[in-house]
Amino acid sequence: MVAGLQERDHLRDLFGRHVGEEVVRRAIAEQESVSDDEREVAVLFVDLVGSTELATTREPHEVAAVLNEFFKSSWRQ
C-alpha cells in the first residue's frame, strides 16, 4: 500500500509539472487515471518567441489565455 501511495504521489508531481496542480487535483477528485490509458491523439508543437519567459513569469491561467488568443487568431487567417 505504501508503495502504491508513493507511486501516486510521484505521478502527481510529474503530471502536475506539465499540466498544473489544479488539473491534477481535479483528475484525482474525479478519479481519472493518470497512467495506463492508451489513446490515439494528435499533438501540435509550436515554438513561440518569448514563450519560455512568458511561462516562467506568468500564472498558468494567464499563459493559457495568451495561447488561446494566439490560436484563435491563427485559425482566422
pLDDT tens-digit series, residues 19-36:
777 777 777 777 666 566
Q: Is the pLDDT of residue 76 over 90?
A: no
Please tell me whether residues 31 and 49 are part of one structural domain: no
- Summary mean pLDDT of the chain: 77
Which residue range(s) make up the domain with 16?
Answer: 1-38
pTM of the model: 0.41
Please tell me whether residues 13 and 34 are part of one structural domain: yes
Please tell me whether residues 2 and 29 are part of one structural domain: yes
Please tell me whether residues 2 and 34 are part of one structural domain: yes
Count the domains in the chain. Answer: 2
Please tell me whether residues 34 and 46 are part of one structural domain: no
For the four alpha carbons of 56, 70, 66 and 21, in that order, the dihedral sign comes to negative
With a pLDDT cut of 70, the percent of the chain lying above it is 69
Please tell me whether residues 46 and 24 are part of one structural domain: no
